Homo-oligomer: A and B are copies of this chain.
Amino acid sequence: MSSNAVNELADELSKLKAVDILPQNVERWEETKAFLLQVVDVLLGYIKEENDRSSKILDFHHPEDMKKLIDLTIPEHPMPLAELVDSCKKVLKLGVKTGHPRFFNQISCGLDLVSMAGEWLTATANTNMFTYEISPVYILMEKEVMRKMMDLIGWPADVGDCIFTPGGAIANTYAMNAARHFFWPRAKPLGMTSVPTLCCFTSEESHYSIKGAAALLGIGVDNCFSIESDSVGRMVPEALEKKIIEAKKEGLHPFFVCATGGTTVYGAFDPLNQVADICERHKIWFHVDAAWGGGLLLSSEHRYKLSGIERAYSVTWNPHKLLGALLQCSACFIRQDGLLFQCNQMSADYLFQQDKPYDVSYDTGDKAIQCGRHNDIFKFWLMWRSKGMEGYRAQINRLMELCAYFTHRIKSTAGFEMVVEKPEFLNICFWYVPPSLRSLDKKEKMLRLEKIAPKIKAKMMERGTTMVGYQPDKQRPNFFRMIISNQAITEDDLDFLIDEIIDIAKDL
Contacts and interface: CB of A to CB of B under 8 A. Distances in A.
Nearest to A176: B216
B66 A136 contact: yes
A126 to B, nearest CB: 5
Contact of A33 (B44, B209, B211, B471): B44
B219 A216 contact: no
B36 A113 contact: yes
Interface string A216-246: 1111111100000000000000000000000
A455 to B, nearest CB: 9
A7 to B, nearest CB: 21
A67 B139 CA distance: 11
Contacts of A141: 72, 91
B355 A124 contact: no
A408 interface: no
B117 A88 contact: yes
A74 B385 contact: yes
Contacts of A76: 388-390
A35 B190 contact: no
Contacts of A372: 108, 167-169, 320, 327-328
Nearest to A372: B167
Interface string A382-426: 111111111100000000000000000000000000000000000
A348 B47 contact: no
A194 interface: yes
Contacts of A362: 63
A348 B210 CA distance: 12
A66 B141 CA distance: 11
Interface stretch (A95-103, A280-288, A301-309, A433-441): A95-103
A447 interface: no
Interface stretch (A15-23, A331-339, A495-503): A15-23
A101 B23 CA distance: 8
A6 interface: no
A166 interface: yes
A188 B220 contact: yes
Contacts of A214: 191
A159 interface: no
A116 B108 contact: no
A96 B133 contact: yes
Contacts of A350: 264-265, 469, 471, 481
Interface in A105-164: 105-106, 108, 110-114, 116-121, 123-128, 132-138, 140-141, 144-145, 148
Contacts of A384: 74
Contacts of A386: 17-18, 78-79, 81, 84
A5 interface: no
A378 B207 CA distance: 28
B192 A78 contact: no
A212 B366 CA distance: 10
A300 to B, nearest CB: 13
Nearest to A219: B191
B133 A387 contact: no
A40 to B, nearest CB: 5
A192 B166 CA distance: 26
Interface string A1-42: 000000000000000011101111010010011011101101
A126 B327 contact: yes
Contacts of A326: 123, 126
A359 B60 CA distance: 13
A475 interface: no
Contacts of A198: 191
B117 A190 contact: no
Contacts of A508: none
Contacts of A170: 166, 170, 369-370
A446 interface: no
Nearest to A118: B88
A371 B116 contact: no
Contacts of A119: 119-120, 123
A140 B74 contact: no
A218 B192 contact: yes
Contacts of A368: 169
Contact of A137 (B22, B37, B66, B79): B66
Interface string A474-501: 0000100100001110000000000000
B126 A471 contact: no
Contacts of A486: 23
Given A106-B128, A221-B346, 5 more contacts: A39-B121, A75-B388, A127-B327, A169-B369, A209-B346
What are the nearest 5 A-B pairs in CB distance? A218-B218, A191-B220, A166-B166, A192-B192, A192-B218
